[in-house]
Amino acid sequence: MATGASVRAMSKHVSRPPRLERNGGIDALRGLSILLVVVHHLALRIPLKRTALADYLPGRLLAALAYNGYEAVFVFFVISGFLITSHSMTRWGSLATIDLRAFYARRLARIAPCLLALVAILSAMHVGRVEHYVIMGNGQSLGGAAISALGFFLNWYEGKTGWLPGGWDVLWSLSIEEVFYLGFPVVCRLLRGGRALVVGLALLALSLPFTRAALAGNEIWQEKAYLPGMAAIAMGILAAMAGHRFTGGPKLAAALCVAGGLGLASVFLAGDVLWRALRDGIMLVLTLSAACLVLGCHWRQRASRAPVRGFGWLRSFGQLSYEIYLTHMFVVFAVLECFEAAGGAMRAGFWWYAPAVASSWLLGALVARAFSEPANRALLRRFGEGGSTPPGGAGPSLSRSAG
């Protein structure tokens, strides 16, 4: 006969929520996105088109590498919506039964440690007058930047006052994502995860070109406003709901992966051509393509298809995307200082990209191993949510945890 202790242990084991396995394809897509973000921020300061690579590589390819960081963040938004929704449905059975306390606890445990640490470090560097980290725009202040970052309205703050230093600026995407997720589980509970929720998400997802076009008068706000980013998250949520409701076979999964990959490639490589034809509709091509690719990767894994070999390094970037995203500007500015100290020879500037990318990964890995993952597990234990981080991942948020 089982003892009371063993019965309690068995009960605890049975009631433990199911885990969402990592998806290699989605991690690789997220890895590609974070690479584009890192390269973009370096290319703004050491332009690839002015290096010797321009003598050998097509200008369109160099532009695709250098200037798709913004689009990559929208891919992150789609991935985030997909993974957090998939995890929620796996953990609680449906969106209608999301446990609000557990949902918010997991978001807080994942987001807060790195965010608080970053704001503290950036504030100290501003006070110390460290170059590249001093807030000096008209109407800007350290207090305003810190409060807006912690209050998830830094995007609005920048839209009103202008660009912040690069280390602060990356937090605009977190503002959009976390404001969305503050309301998302409440809306799911109120609408019972039914047809009204699907219609609302579809309208939001399809609004992306129109909301961007309506904000054309303010470049910063057009890029960083809440509704366009939330539209991309909504596209990812719809893809996750489709993946949960339907079962796609290997052929359909492969077709979605191909279609999504071609769509993203068209935006990254021929964005100027698509812009002339579609204007802001290009962003809808981007988010729909990302949703197709993510859903295809999801169904591909369900069909027990192994990840494509040779991309483990890219998947590792995706697994560390949140830490890399928040910290990579430290690397970019350090590399820029070294570049200038070495003479600033622009023709040889491309040599600095590999060390910058590798250092960004290394810093992200160190932060994850020494700080963010232990803090996440400790907070989850404190909230009674267990000490393990679900491996789904969500990005800009870029967060590695799916919840």
Residue 16 belongs to a domain: no
Q: Is residue 391 part of a domain?
A: no
Q: Does residue 396 form part of some domain?
A: no
From the list 202, 281, 266, the residue with the least C-alpha distance to 239 is 202
Question: Residue 325 corresponds to which tokens in the numbers above?
Answer: 């995203």
Residue 2 has pLDDT above 50, yes or no: no
| Average per-residue pLDDT for the chain | 90
Span 202-210, average pLDDT: 97
Q: Which sign, positive or negative, has the C-alpha torsion 327, 110, 313, 50?
A: negative
Residue 308 is predicted with a pLDDT of: 73
Q: How far apart (Å, rounded) are the C-alpha atoms in residues 393 and 30?
A: 9
For residue 323, the one-letter residue type is E
pLDDT at 11: 42
Say if 324 falls within a structural domain. yes
Q: Which amino acid is at 290?
A: A
Output b/e per residue, 257-289; b: 16+ Cβ within 10 A: beebbebbebbbbebeebeeeeebbbbbbbbbb
- DSSP conformation letters of 48-85: GGGSGGGGTS-HHHHHHHHS-HHHHHHHHHHHHHHHHH
> Residue 277: is its pLDDT beyond 70?
yes
Mean pLDDT, rounded, for 155-170? 96
C-alpha–C-alpha distance, residues 112 and 117, integer Å? 8
pLDDT level of residue 218 (50, 70, 90 thresholds): confident
Q: Tell me which of 129 and 218 has the higher pLDDT.
A: 129
Domain count, the chain: 1
Q: Model confidence over 84-114: pLDDT tens digits?
A: 999 999 999 999 999 999 999 999 999 999 9
For the entire predicted model, the pTM comes to 0.91
Predicted local distance difference test score (pLDDT) of residue 214:
93
Is residue 401 included in any domain, yes or no?
no
pLDDT given at position 379:
95
13 lies in a domain? no
Average pLDDT over residues 293-315: 87
Domain encompassing residue 362: 22-381
Q: Is there a domain that residue 3 lies in?
A: no
What Cα–Cα distance (Å) separates residue 394 from each residue in 72, 203, 338, 376?
A: 13, 23, 33, 15
Banded pLDDT at 392 (limits 50, 70, 90): very low
pLDDT band at 193 (very low <50, low <70, confident <90, very high): confident
pLDDT class of 213 with cuts at 50, 70, 90: very high
The closest alpha carbon to 67, from 89, 47, 97, belongs to 47
Encode pLDDT of 39-92 as tens digits. 999 999 999 999 999 999 999 999 999 999 999 999 999 999 999 999 999 999
* Cβ neighbours around 6 below 10 Å, total: 10
Return the percentage of the chain with pLDDT > 70, whole number: 90
17-31, 106-120, 241-255, 353-367, range with the lowest pLDDT: 17-31
DSSP string, 304-319: TPPPPTT-HHHHHHHH
**Could you tell me if residue 398 is inside a domain?**
no
pLDDT at 402 (0 to 100): 36
